[in-house]
Structures are given as structure tokens and as C-alpha cells.
Copies of this chain bind each other. A is one copy, B any other.
């Protein structure tokens, strides 16, 4: 099967198949005499595995680890589970960050009349002098006082 067929059969674009090969996620397939890549149904299984892992949000690096575990018949399921759990944690952290943004924005939007008048609590919030963790370094010089 050529790369286009493997792409259609796996859901991974031809472009990405070549990319995965170039970064070593999958091994280079054999080639026809005319240099076309040739894939087996086994290769397609691997590509689907990758596709599914990516769909679940695993980075390519972690996908590679999962692939390694998958192909290691003597793996411990504990290793896989650990990978999955740490990934869940990362996802949940990102969710929290996004939820924080949403709740702040919802509050601001709720307070905004949303009519033709210019006054806007959303802009006011964005423009509010936020207390920074580290205050400016020792008194800045006034601008325009330096001459060389």
C-alpha cells in the first residue's frame, strides 16, 4: 500500500506519516524501486494507534512511549497506567486554567451593559493596574534625561 492509502486507512495524513518517520516515531518503511514508501496493514495499525493517542491528547513524545509499551509484550500495565494518569493530571490542569479564564470573563461580560455606550467593565479590568509579584526595579530614571 502506498502512503496515500495508508493515510486514508489510518486517518493520519500522508504529510504527518512522513513527519512521524522523520522524527523517528515510526520506522522507515521499505521502498519500491521507484522510491515510493510501502506500508503493510501492520503499519496501518501502528498509525491508528498513534492517531488514537493523539486524539486523546497525548503528546508525540508520550505517544512514542505508549507505542513502546504496546510493542513490549512484557510490559507492566502499571507503567501504562502511570503514563495515563499523569496525562490526565496535565489535562485537568489545563482545564482549570481555562475555567479560571472563563469564570473571570463571564463575570466581566455579565457586568458589561453591551450597548452603544463606551463605558465597559471588561476594558476597565484589562486596564486595571494589576499588582505585580515583583515591583519595578529601583526607581526608573525619568525619560529623556540622558545625553551622551
Contact = CB atoms under 8 A, between A and B. Distances in A.
Given A5-B136, A116-B76, A101 B143 contact: no
A56 B105 contact: yes
Contact of A118 (B34, B38, B74, B126): B74
A22 interface: no
B81 A120 contact: yes
A28 interface: no
Size class of the contact patch on chain A: 35 or more
Contacts of A72: 118
Interface in A91-131: 91-92, 94-95, 98-99, 101-102, 104-106, 108-109, 112-120, 122-123, 125-130
Given A40-B143, A70-B126, A77-B115, A98 B109 contact: no
